[in-house]
Structure 1
Amino acid sequence: MRAISGLWRWRHNPLRRTTDLVESWVALAALFLILVAAPALGSLVGTVTQDALQQSVREQRHARHPVPATVVGRLTASAPVPDPEIATGRDVRSRVVADWTGPDGVHRHGRVTTDLKSPHPGDRFTLWTDAHGRTVPRPLDPTTATTHAVLAGLGTALVAAGLTEGIRRLVLWRLVRRRYARWDQAWDRAGPDWGRTGTGS
């Protein structure tokens, strides 16, 4: 609103300088970019990110398979580790030695992580593997993918708005410097004759 009122104020003002008009137009353009262009860009980035992440979710769910596994023993030397695939990061997974049979029918044995809080030999849990039975992280959750897309869109909008405001402030700084330079030039011309009779002052 300040930009619009500023343009209206300078419209027919005899004291208007070119820099005043430029400043008002720059402020109006920045206002438009922050209120319209930045959200539109954020929405576009969020949509593209959402499409890409949901496609990745579908591909991962197609390529990764849940298989039943049985705990053989717990690795007591290893401390529980947080699961990087969980959005909250609060869930903790334990490392165990387990047996499982992959989708290819091959029996496997190895060290894996499980979401069992206190695993004991014989406990069963679900393990994610690829088509050859090798352990892989569980597929990305659709809700987590959507959260990442929303954050990407919001981040893009905020960065665009901040960049626009930074450019506006830089232009304003240059305009103020130009005004001061012109004032100095005008004062240098008028200074020697200031207050003298018959000089038109």
Structure 2
Amino acid sequence: MEAWTLVAVAVLLLVVAPLTGVAAAWWAHGDARALVREQREDLRHVRAEVVERASRAAPLAQSARQPTAKATVRWTDPEQGPRTAVARVPPGTRPGEKVDVWLDSRGHGVTPPPGTAAVWQNTVTIGICTTGAAVALILFGHTVVRHAAMRRRLAEWDQEWARTEPAWTGRRA
């Protein structure tokens, strides 16, 4: 039984666990791409000019890509003409420099939506974690089966010894 269990565990580890990871990564990739597409539809990208120097005293929380600061930016909207807003820009940005700004539906500056690299990073992370979880579950199951087999084998040995011991020791059971 233990030999067949090892064969089953090997097949599960070499075939099922990686396939589970690939399936989870595929799902996560599609979900992340849909989320990015949805965010890009809700946001608007403009090329703006910095009007007021980026604040040094009030930097915003560290971004995954780079630190950011607040600055007043100006751009020309085709429908509404010249517009200004406070947006996140690289620290040390000077007045007159052009920056890429992402705006929400109310015209407020927001962080840009995740790029392709972030989507792939999410995909790979989900795939690796799912594969690892599958491996852990398979190995845990194998440990439980081995433990049950060992308990059964020890119980059988106890029964055999109960029958054999009187003949060896001369004691009666």
TM-score of the aligned structures, taking structure 1 as reference length: 0.72
Q: Does structure 1 residue 109 correspond to structure 2 residue 85?
A: yes
Alignment of structure 1 residues 180-191 onto 2, 5 Å: 180-191=154-165
Which stretch shifts more, 67-76 or 175-184?
67-76
Would the aligned equivalents of 2:60 and 2:70 in 1 still touch at CA under 8 Å? no
Q: Does structure 1 residue 83 correspond to structure 2 residue 51?
A: no
Deviations 1:107-145 (A, max 9, x none): 3433x3212x42223333111002331222202112320
Which stretch shifts more, 152-161 or 131-140?
131-140
Name the SS for the 2:71 alignment partner: strand
CA change 1:74–1:170 in 2 (3 A) is: same
Partner residue of 2:39?
A: 60
Name the SS for the 2:133 alignment partner: helix
Distance in 2 (alpha carbons) for counterparts of 1:25 and 1:76: 67
Q: Does structure 1 residue 45 correspond to structure 2 residue 24?
A: yes
Deviation at 1:101, TM superposition (A): 4.6
Would the aligned equivalents of 2:50 and 2:94 in 1 still touch at CA under 8 Å? no
Deviation at 1:160, TM superposition (A): 0.3
TM-score of the aligned structures, taking structure 2 as reference length: 0.83
Partner residue of 1:99?
A: 73
Superposition CA RMSD, Å: 2.4
Which stretch shifts more, 136-145 or 61-70?
61-70
Would the aligned equivalents of 1:70 and 1:125 in 2 still touch at CA under 8 Å? yes
- The ranges of structure 1 where at least 4 consecutive aligned residues each deviate by more than 4 angstroms after the TM superposition are 101-104
| Runs (5+) with no aligned partner, structure 1 | 1-20, 197-201
Would the aligned equivalents of 1:54 and 1:145 in 2 still touch at CA under 8 Å? yes
Would the aligned equivalents of 1:128 and 1:137 in 2 still touch at CA under 8 Å? yes
Partner residue of 1:16?
A: none
Name the SS for the 2:110 alignment partner: coil
Distance in 2 (alpha carbons) for counterparts of 1:153 and 1:59: 23
Alignment of structure 1 residues 1-201 onto 2, 5 Å: 21=1, 23-67=2-46, 68-79=48-59, 81-84=61-64, 86=65, 91-93=66-68, 95-101=69-75, 105=80, 107-110=83-86, 112-115=87-90, 117-194=91-168, 196=170
Distance in 2 (alpha carbons) for counterparts of 1:122 and 1:140: 27
Distance in 2 (alpha carbons) for counterparts of 1:121 and 1:34: 58
Identity of aligned residues (%): 25
Which stretch shifts more, 98-107 or 162-171?
98-107
Query: How many residues align structurally?
Result: 168
Distance in 2 (alpha carbons) for counterparts of 1:149 and 1:175: 39
Would the aligned equivalents of 1:101 and 1:133 in 2 still touch at CA under 8 Å? no
Would the aligned equivalents of 1:102 and 1:134 in 2 still touch at CA under 8 Å? no
Deviation at 1:166, TM superposition (A): 1.4
Distance in 1 (alpha carbons) for counterparts of 2:97 and 2:32: 34
Supply the AA of the counterpart residue of 1:114.
Answer: V
